[in-house]
Copies of this chain bind each other. A is one copy, B any other.
């Protein structure tokens, strides 16, 4: 049984609420730059370098057809570009335009800033425990599914 300082929240409850808070930060920061949450996520992901549609759809957990529309709209807004590959003419890599890179960086920084601020009052060692505990959860999940999400 739990004897010492009992956590106020159940463990899973805490995770769910935290997730929604982070999601909200993501939405608000995106809105400041007139980005939808999905566009924000796309830009953050592409910060790591160009990615093909199939890999992108796996990373974002989206059907390829859904991704086509997302990339279409981002392309129309001048945030990303489709670059065709001469070797395999079926494929294309999606890469950031300078404007996309700029907005992606702004969004990334805005999210970091706000999350840091939220956690500002936590003692340093709690932050470390938090980060490494989360790292453990993510590692367990990655080992099980082979999936990594690398946004923000």
Q: Please report A residues at the B interface, Cβ cutoff 8 Å.
A: 2, 5, 7-24, 26-27, 61, 111-112, 115-116, 118-122, 126-141, 149, 151-152
Contact = CB atoms under 8 A, between A and B. Distances in A.
A130 B133 contact: yes
Contacts of A22: 15-16, 18-19
A138 B2 contact: no
Nearest to A60: B20
11 contacts: A5-B128, A9-B134, A11-B119, A16-B115, A16-B151, A19-B21, A119-B137, A120-B140, A121-B136, A126-B129, A130-B134
Contact of A12 (B115, B126, B132): B115
A63 to B, nearest CB: 13
Tell me what chain A mostly uses at the interface: helix, strand, loop, or mixed. Answer: helix
Nearest to A138: B17
A131 B5 contact: no
Nearest to A7: B131
Given A24-B61, A115-B16, A129-B129, A9 B152 contact: no
